[in-house]
Amino acid sequence: MASLLERLKKTVGQEIVLQAPDEMGRSSLRQYALAIGDFNPLYSDRDFAQAHGLRDVMAPPTLICDTWQYVDSDMDDRGDLLGWGPIRELDGLRAGNEYEFFQPVHPDDVITAHWTVKDVYERTGRSGSLIFQVIETTFYNQREELLARNTETMFYRPPETINEE
C-alpha cells in the first residue's frame, strides 16, 4: 500500500470546479455578517453601499472562502464533498490560509470555485512527521471576473508516525 505522502503527492495538479446553483442572495450576505458579528452597513444597507461607490450591498470578504454556498452536490457527514478527496479516512487540520480579495461579491453574483492542489510536502519536527497539502481556490462570478483567492494549507499526521502510549 502506498504511503500517505505518496498518495497525497498524486493529487498535485488535480482540480475540481464547482458552480453555484444560484445567486449568492442578499439574505446570505446579511446572515453571514450577523453570524460573524460584523454589523458594517455595507453588508446590509443598499443606500449606504451605493453612497460608498458600490452598486449594491457586498458580502463580508471571507464569505465565499469560508462557506460551501457554491456547492450543488452531495456532502458527507463531515461536510466534505462525496467522491472527492484523496484521503477519506483521515482528518486534516488547517495550518493556515492566505486570502486575496480582488473585488466585492454582490447578491446577484453566481460563484464558480476552482480548487487545485498546488503542493504536497513533508516536514519532520519534535513531534514526528507531518504532511502538508496546499490547495488554492479561486472564485469567479458569472462574468468570469476574479473575486478572491484562498490558498489553504492542510496538514496530516501519517498513521505510521502516531505514537501509541
What CATH code is carried by the domain that includes residue 127? 3.10.129.10
Predicted pLDDT at 93: 85
Of the spans 47-56, 83-92, 93-102, which averages the highest pLDDT?
47-56
Q: Which of helix, strand or coil describes residue 89?
A: coil
Cα–Cα distance between 135 and 26 in angstroms, integer?
Answer: 29
Q: Based on the structure, what is the number of domains in the chain?
A: 1
Measured between alpha carbons, how far is residue 122 from residues 86, 87, 130, 132, 151 in Å? 16, 16, 6, 6, 18
Within a domain: residue 29?
no
Predicted pLDDT at 111: 93
Res 105 pLDDT > 60: yes
For 8-60, write each residue's pLDDT tens digit: 898 899 998 888 888 999 999 999 999 999 999 999 999 999 999 999 999 99
**pLDDT band for position 90 (cuts 50, 70, 90):** low
Dihedral sign (CA 154, 97, 30, 27): negative
Predicted pLDDT at 87: 47
Within a domain: residue 36?
no
Report the Cα 61 to chain-centroid distance in Å. Answer: 12
Predicted pLDDT at 4: 83
Within a domain: residue 81?
yes
pTM of the shown model? 0.82
Domain that holds residue 99: 4-24+66-161
Within a domain: residue 38?
no
Predicted pLDDT at 70: 62
Closest listed residue to residue 105, CA positions, set 50, 22, 23: 23
Within a domain: residue 103?
yes
Cα–Cα distance between 91 and 77 in angstroms, integer?
Answer: 13
Res 164 pLDDT > 50: no
Res 101 pLDDT > 80: yes
Within a domain: residue 150?
yes
For 106-142, write each residue's pLDDT tens digit: 999 999 999 999 999 999 988 888 999 999 999 999 9
Specify which residues 152 forms β-bridges with.
97, 135
Within a domain: residue 61?
no
**pLDDT band for position 75 (cuts 50, 70, 90):** low
Predicted pLDDT at 2: 72
DSSP H helices, the chain, are 4-9, 26-36, 46-51, 63-66
Within a domain: residue 57?
no
